[in-house]
Amino acid sequence: MADLFDKAVHRFSGNFDELESALGMYVLGRHVGWKVLFILHSKKTIKKYEEILGISVREEFEEEGPESMRSVGYSIAKTFSNFWKVVSGEEKVDRTNWREILK
């Protein structure tokens, strides 16, 4: 992991906020998997961070990590039939009763 970070830092040019966010996404992705990352970030942001890090999150991480279920958004998305429809906003989630959904 340190090698990946070092390479990303050395080849990066731009706003360090983006580099820091990409590195943070990588650290979290190891624990939660790529599906949670797609709940947390837009596809455009994921692509930007992948370019910064020189990775593909779907190849780098498992679909679910050991801490995936700690994400309320992901836990709710799992109750729907199509993950990508939830991520894209095509299927609407009623945020007022999310505790009921998770029972």
pLDDT in tens, 20-68: 999 999 999 999 999 999 999 999 999 999 999 999 999 999 999 999 9
Q: Which domain holds residue 91?
A: 2-101
What pTM did the predictor assign? 0.83
Percent of the chain with pLDDT over 90: 67
Q: Average of pLDDT values for 71-91? A: 81
Q: In this predicted structure, which of 4-8, 58-62, 73-77 has the lowest mean pLDDT? A: 73-77
Q: Which residues contact 71 (CB under 8 A, 6 or more apart)?
A: 32, 36, 39, 40
> How buried is 18 (Cβ within 10 angstroms: 0-12 exposed, 13-18 middle, 19+ buried)?
middle
Total Cβ atoms within 10 A of residue 46: 20
Number of domains within the chain: 1
Percent of the chain with pLDDT over 70: 89
Q: Compute the radius of gyration of the chain from its Cα atoms.
A: 15
Q: For residues 61 and 64, what is the distance between their CA atoms, to the nearest angstrom?
A: 8
**Structure tokens of 77?**
């998305």
H helix intervals, the chain: 2-11, 16-32, 34-40, 43-53, 57-60, 72-77, 83-88, 98-101
